Amino acid sequence: MSLFKRTPKPTANVTYISSAGEQREIAVPIGSSVMEGAVNNGVSGIVAECGGACMCATCHVYVDESWLDKLQPIAEDEEEMLNNTFCKRQPNSRLGCQVHLTEELDGLVVTTPEAQQ
């Protein structure tokens, strides 16, 4: 048996737009993060050096404004890390590792910054 046996999970579609404007729509399993969806599908523009521990601020994304009120609120540690991202924080900035997909977030649109570090 493989250690990585896959069980199909319901997904939410996420559109990742690069700073250059390239778009990719990816079906990300519910419960995984915006960061994992990117990393597992080769979306460049997200580094995620710490693997999702809210430690490195290299999975910075700008969330399309229309989705902001549907996201889980920003926790204290994410708040402080967001003030230290490589590209400037905007009102719609989030760390991709802290945004977990729910059914409600199906269709989410995020833009990656020019650089993460």
Partner 1 sequence: MPAGVVIAGAGQGGFQVAASLRSEGYDSAITLIGEEPGLPYQRPPLSKAFMAGKQEIEAARLRPEAFYRDQRIDLLMGERAVHIDHANRRVELASGGHVPYSHLVLATGARNRLLPLEREVCYLRTREEAIGLRERLEGAREILIIGGGFIGLEIAAVARSLGKRVLVVEAQGRLMARVVAPVLSEFYRDLHLSQGVEFVFGTAEREIAEYRADLVVAGIGVLPNVELAESCGLAVADGIVVDEYLRTANPDIYAIGDCASHPNRYAGGRTRIESVQNAVDQARSVAAGIVGRPHPYDAVPWFWTDQFHIKLQMVGLSQGCDRSVARGNPESEKFSVFYFRQNRLIAIDSINRPADHMVGRKLLAAGTRLTPEQARDLDLDLRELV
Binding stretches for partner 1 (CB under 8 A):
2-6, 36, 39-40, 42, 44, 49-51, 53-55, 57, 76-77, 80-81, 83-84
Give the nearer residue to partner 1 in terms of CB position, either 43 or 110. 43
Instruction: Find out whether 43 and 64 touch, Cβ atoms under 8 Å.
Output: no
Q: 17 or 78, CB closer to partner 1?
A: 78
Local structure of 69: helix, strand or coil: helix
Amino acid at the residue 5: K
Q: What residue type is 63 in one-letter code?
A: V
Closest contact distance (angstroms) between CB of 79 and partner 1 is 9
* Pick 76 or 103: Cβ nearer partner 1: 76
Smallest gap, in angstroms, from Cβ of residue 60 to partner 1?
A: 12
Angstrom distance (rounded) from CA 71 to CA 59: 16
Among candidates 45, 38, 44, 92, which has minimal Cα distance to 64?
A: 92
Minimum Å gap between C-beta 44 and partner 1 is 7
